[in-house]
Amino acid sequence: MKTFIIAMTGLSVILIAITTVTAATKLEKATFAGGCFWCMEHPFDEISGVVSVTSGYTGGQKKNPTYEEVSAGGTGHAESIQVIYDPAHVTYGQLLNVFWHNIDPTAKDRQFCDSGHQYRSAIFYHNEEQHRIALQSKALLEKDKTFKEPVVTEIVQATEFYPAEDYHQHYYKKNPIRYKFYRTNCGRDRRLKELWGSAAGH
């Protein structure tokens, strides 16, 4: 009997381990650029099913770029965020909906008070399914939008993502007063409300 219990206990541990590994492999990632990455973390942190949000740089040529290099322009990178999420609890389409309502899709090579190619809006897809959903989402937005300007947000294949320096991660939590001052003075919320009305992100 003891041998049987021990065997069953061992099997339970193995099954738990397998379940844990399987659950981990089900996590997926989404990468978005919407101007200043400080302002893009909070909306996704609020979503049930999102495991983590990381600020960083992607879409450029230089390896391991610094904030100073990216913000100065010339590396090709965009300030961006990488979202790790559980598709069993939140879909890629739902993440796209949050993305759209937190950017100005009519602005080329800038977002609000930040200008330059490094502040472009973009969806970086990681597989063909994400590519298809992103294209459909953009087409639906262009069809149903209430603003006149065309949607210029890029949809491009994801390349290597470089996490930003630690002090940038969840800046809105670490420096709430400075964050709010920047966001307000940049005109982000005002413009989002003009574009999206009551559905605007925050």
Q: Phi and psi for 73 in degrees, rounded to 5?
A: 85, 165
User: Rounded to whole angstroms, how far apart are CA atoms 175 and 105?
Assistant: 27
pLDDT attached to residue 20 = 43
pLDDT of residue 25: 54
Output the pTM of the full model.
0.86
Active site residue ranges? 36
Q: Helices H, strands E: what count in the chain? A: 8, 8
pLDDT under 70: residue ranges of the chain: 1-25
Q: Which residues of 67-85 are buried (b: 16+ CB within 10 A; e: fewer)?
A: bebbbeeebbbbbbbbbeb
Nearest to 105 by CA among 146, 72, 73: 146
Which residues neighbour 175 within 8 Å (Cβ) at sequence distance 6 or greater?
none
The pairing of strands 114-115 and 78-85 is unpaired
> According to the model, what pLDDT value does residue 14 have?
39
d(CA 184, CA 177): 11
